[in-house]
């Protein structure tokens, strides 16, 4: 992609992303893409009526019958959720003759729970979607209702509020199956670390494999009671790929052990079983022997982000995009005001950054919904009505948060005492740039986004609609093999690394890895052809 011709085709493939970003900038001066501006712009309050700039045209649905909507979120519920739900239901009952029950999966085995929710047939009216929850695949398999006809009828303000290019970008087989978030952000990850300890012990900034290992060695030597690296399930493996390669997926991994680089997306090889894979696994074994993580790391239920943000570890690889890093800063500052955090974003190592694709955060209506029209009308309220939006994003004003200097979000209490921290419901999908409040510390993130804008490239990966139907059985089998044979290698629990990798590859191939990789590559190349990407 370094050549002019290839770059032109790549930019053409990302045109939808570029256009919707421009439209968003034009319709609202309050989003993050104006990252070099002051937070006053980013946190601009909406009009007193609480509505967005969208049309005031009312929805055309029958609300004569009272309904209770089942709303499913990922992650853990905030402590004050019952209070928030009660306040929301007072308004929803009056506005839509509906109440809502907010359900959460918890972060433990959320992926399996998500699959079960969509396959069990239980009534669900709204559910979170994202590229990392396999939105494209679920949409192609018919898990969600198409919204093209429902949106103008049940949620006309929402339909007008979301730019057309964003609606187009989330379509699967020419149909809309999710409502995308309209806030432009970067979720490329990075290394978060204790900057105060780095300075105290004169350690290098962890910005490469070499300096990262030197930093972790220094922590191990000087702070023996502090966990050097927060981890669970060997998540560091994906982060090392982000740090050391130009992988096409900038916010997670390319699945099934495949190797696809941004500059040569048609060159699809297998990372699993390669000499580089073996070298990486030997490095992880060395890290495990040094005590960078506990020996029971595969049994740790808390996310690496939570372990780091609670002050129990000195560093975290991945899981920390700029927004989540800011969350860690806030939580650490509230508990330990004298601590200082540092951050190295992977785009600085890769040389480019990719803003999120519109499918990154969204909400869909599953096929099992009994109230699709009312669900969309309620979701419209979450996005376009300031009362609903602030309650579900920040909690109760005066109890959970206050507005500082007329423009900043300020938590009341600290991370342990506050029952509804900022975005406590993981409400990333219904962020409204016109209503958003940021902490003062978010200035650093806005600056980071401004820097990323200068090296931005279109996201060519997240628009790929994988269809795993041809290898569904093999996919499940390989996932089990990965957990049984590769996870222990990832965290250094196997003494014979070379023998362990050989055994994993044998088991994976028996489970159907070759078939998966071949079919995935065929679909990927077709997607590149259809998108005009060389």
Lowest mean pLDDT among 19-33, 213-227, 358-372: 19-33
Q: Where are the domains of the chain?
A: 4-182+359-449, 190-350, 469-531
Q: Which residue has the higher pLDDT, 413 or 21?
A: 413
Asked which of 2-11, 208-217, 242-251 is least confident by mean pLDDT, the reply is 2-11
Q: pLDDT digits over 456-491, tens only?
A: 998 899 888 888 999 999 999 999 999 999 999 999
- pLDDT exceeds 70 at position 379: yes
> What is the pLDDT at residue 8?
33
Query: What local confidence, expressed as pLDDT, does residue 19 receive?
Result: 34
How does pLDDT run across 112-152, given as a tens digit for each residue? 999 999 999 999 999 999 988 999 889 999 999 999 999 99
Judge whether 4-182+359-449 and 190-350 match in fold.
yes
pLDDT for position 58: 62
Per DSSP bridges, beta strands 190-194 and 341-345 are antiparallel
DSSP state, 442? G
Q: Which of 431, 377, 375, 392 is nearest to 88 (CA)?
A: 392
Q: Which fold is adopted by the domain 4-182+359-449?
A: D-Maltodextrin-Binding Protein; domain 2 (3.40.190)
DSSP-derived 3-state class of residue 11? helix
Dihedral sign of CA atoms 78, 79, 84, 89 in order: positive
Q: Are 191 and 316 in contact (CB under 8 A)?
A: yes
| CATH match for 190-350 among 3.40.50.620, 3.10.20.30, 3.40.190.10, 3.90.1480.20 | 3.40.190.10
Inter-axis angle of helices 497-511 and 275-290, nearest 10: 130
Give the per-residue pLDDT at 15: 35
Q: Mean pLDDT for the chain? A: 87
Confidence of residue 27 (pLDDT cuts 50, 70, 90): very low
Q: Which helix (H) or strand (E) holds 104?
A: strand 98-104
- 111 φ/ψ angles, rounded to the nearest 5 degrees: -65, -45
pLDDT beyond 60 at 520:
yes
Model pLDDT for residues 319-354, shown as the tens digit of each residue: 788 988 888 888 888 888 999 999 999 999 999 999
Q: What is the mean pLDDT of residues 191-205?
A: 97
Q: Are 187 and 333 in contact (CB under 8 A)?
A: no
Position 56 confidence tier, pLDDT thresholds 50, 70, 90: low
Classify the C-alpha dihedral 382-387-391-394 as positive or negative: positive
> How far apart (Å, rounded) are the C-alpha atoms in residues 60 and 281?
58
What is the separation, in whole angstroms, between the first and last Cα of the chain?
A: 8
Question: What pLDDT does 357 receive?
Answer: 86
- Pairwise CA distance, residues 406 & 408, whole Å: 6
Least confident of 6-15, 280-289, 379-388, 518-527: 6-15
Model confidence band, residue 41 (pLDDT cutoffs 50, 70, 90): very low
Which residues are CB-contacts of 368 (< 8 A; sequence separation ≥ 6)?
121, 122, 123, 124
| Residue 180 DSSP SS3 | strand
pLDDT surpasses 90 at 375? yes
Alpha-carbon distances, residue 447 vs 317, 320, 386 (angstroms):
21, 16, 26
Q: How far apart are CA 508 and CA 485, in angstroms?
A: 9
Q: What gap in Å lies between CA 347 and CA 345, rounded to an integer?
A: 6
Report the pLDDT averaged over residues 241-247.
95
What residues pair up with 269 in beta bridges, in sequence order? 259
Sign of CA dihedral 198, 202, 207, 209: negative
Mean pLDDT throughout 412-436?
Answer: 93
């Amino acid at each position: 992609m370094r050549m002019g011709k290839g770059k032109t085709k790549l930019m053409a493939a990302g045109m939808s992303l570029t256009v919707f970003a421009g439209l968003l900038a034009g319709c609202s001066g309050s989003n993050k893409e104006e990252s070099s501006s002051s937070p006053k712009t980013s946190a601009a309050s909406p009009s007193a009526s609480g509505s967005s700039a969208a049309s005031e045209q009312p929805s055309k649905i029958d609300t004569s019958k009272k309904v209770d909507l089942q709303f499913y979120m990922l992650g853990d519920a905030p402590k004050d959720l019952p209070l928030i739900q009660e306040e929301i239901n007072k308004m929803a009952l009056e506005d839509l003759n509906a109440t809502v029950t907010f359900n959460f999966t918890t972060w433990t085995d959320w992926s399996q729970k998500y699959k079960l929710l969509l396959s069990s047939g239980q009534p669900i009216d709204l559910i979170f979607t994202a590229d990392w929850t396999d939105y494209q695949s679920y949409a192609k398999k018919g898990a969600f209702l198409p919204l093209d006809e429902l949106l103008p009828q049940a949620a006309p303000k929402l339909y007008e509020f979301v730019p057309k290019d964003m609606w187009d970008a989330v379509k699967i087989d020419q149909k809309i199956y999710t409502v995308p978030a309209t806030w432009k952000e970067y979720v490329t990850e990075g290394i978060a670390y204790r900057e105060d300890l780095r300075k105290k012990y004169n350690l290098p900034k962890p910005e490469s494999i070499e300096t990262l290992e030197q930093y972790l060695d220094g922590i191990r030597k000087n702070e023996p009671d502090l966990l050097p690296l927060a981890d669970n399930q060997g998540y560091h493996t994906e982060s090392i790929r982000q740090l050391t390669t130009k992988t096409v997926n900038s916010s997670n991994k390319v699945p099934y052990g495949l190797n696809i680089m941004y500059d040569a997306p048609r060159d699809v090889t297998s990372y699993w079983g390669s000499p580089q894979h073996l070298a990486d696994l030997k490095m992880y074994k060395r890290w495990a022997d040094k005590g960078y993580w506990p020996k029971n790391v595969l049994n740790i239920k808390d996310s690496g982000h939570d372990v780091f943000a609670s002050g129990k570890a000195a560093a975290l690889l991945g899981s920390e995009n700029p927004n989540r890093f800011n969350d860690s800063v806030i939580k650490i500052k509230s508990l330990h005001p004298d601590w200082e955090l540092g951050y190295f974003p992977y785009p600085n190592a890769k040389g480019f950054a990719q803003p999120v694709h519109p499918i990154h955060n969204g909400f869909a209506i599953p096929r099992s919904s009994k109230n699709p029209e009312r669900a969309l009308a309620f979701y419209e309220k979450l996005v376009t009505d300031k009362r609903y939006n602030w309650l579900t994003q920040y909690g109760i004003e005066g109890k959970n948060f206050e507005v500082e200097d007329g423009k900043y979000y300020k938590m009341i209490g600290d991370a342990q005492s506050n029952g509804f921290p900022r975005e406590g419901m993981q409400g990333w999908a219904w962020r409204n740039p016109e209503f958003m409040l940021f902490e003062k510390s978010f200035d650093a993130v806005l600056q980071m986004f401004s820097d990323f804008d200068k090296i931005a490239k279109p996201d060519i990966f997240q628009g790929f609609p994988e269809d795993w139907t041809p290898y569904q059985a093999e996919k499940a089998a390989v996932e089990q093999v990965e957990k049984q044979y590769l996870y222990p290698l990832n965290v250094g629990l196997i003494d014979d690394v070379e023998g362990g990798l050989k055994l994993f590859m044998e088991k994976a191939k028996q489970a159907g890895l070759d078939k998966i990789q071949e079919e995935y590559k065929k679909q990927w190349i077709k997607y590149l052809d259809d998108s005009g990407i060389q």
